[in-house]
Amino acid sequence: MGVTVVDHPLARSMLTALRDRNTPPPLFRLLAKRLALVLCVEATRGVPTAPTEVDTPLAKTSGTRIAQALVAVPVLRAGLGMLEAVTELFPEVAVGYVGLERDHATFEASMYYSKLPPLEGRTALLLDPMLATGGSASAACDALAKAGAEHVTLLSVVSAPEGIARLQRSHPDVDVFTVSIDHGLDDHAYIVPGLGDFGDRLFGTL
C-alpha cells in the first residue's frame, strides 16, 4: 500500500483553516472542496492515459486523453464534501455511495447503504476525509472489492497512524492520498489534533 502525503503550501494552508474551530460551515465547505481538488489532482497523477490527436485552429497536434473510466465513491455523509471537486475535474465520472455509521462504543463501522455503479475495469476513488480507526475505510473497501473494483485509491484530508495501519492489514493494495498524518487517536477514537467531526462542521450540525 502506498501512502502519499500531499505536501503543497496551498494544501497546508487550507488544512490549517479547516482545523480552526472558528471557521464557519460555509467557509469550511468551500475549503473542503478546494482541498479535495488538490488531493484529486495528485491521486490521479498515475491514471492510465492514451495518445490522441486534435485539430487546433492552426494545425493538427498530438495530445493525451484519460484512458480509464473513473468512479467516485464518497463515504456518507462527510465524503460528500469532496465529491464536487472530483465531478468538476472529471465530468464523466460515475458516482456511487457508501453509507457507514460508527458505533460509539466499539468504534466499529456498520453499513446502512450502498449504491455502486459497475466497477470492473475502472479506478475507484474512495472519498473519506477522516481516516481515523480505519474501520469505515476498510468496510468501504470491502464493499468496493465485492462489487468488482480492481484498484481503489483513498482520498483523505487527515489520517491517523492507526487507520493507515489497519488499512494496510485489511487492504494492502489500496493507495492513500492525504494532506496530513496526525499524531494519533484519543480515547474516543477521534484524530488528534484533527479538525473535529468533519460531517458536523461541513453541514453545520454541531
200 is catalytic: yes
Annotated catalytic residue within 4, 77, 102, 175: 102
Question: What's the first-to-final CA gap in the chain, in angstroms?
Answer: 35
197 is catalytic: yes
Measured CA to CA, the distance from residue 131 to residue 149 in angstroms comes to 20
Contact 198/130 with Cβ under 8 angstroms?
A: yes
Bridge partners, 156 (sequence order): 178
Measured CA to CA, the distance from residue 109 to residue 137 in angstroms comes to 9
Annotated catalytic residue within 106, 169, 186, 205: 106
Bridge partners, 63 (sequence order): 52
* Bond preceding residue 34 cis, omega within 30 of 0: no
* DSSP single-letter state for residue 5: E
Measured CA to CA, the distance from residue 102 to residue 135 in angstroms comes to 8
Annotated catalytic residue within 19, 34, 77, 200: 200
* 12 residue type, one letter: R
Strand bridging mode 49-55 / 60-66: antiparallel
Known catalytic residues?
Answer: 102, 106, 197, 200
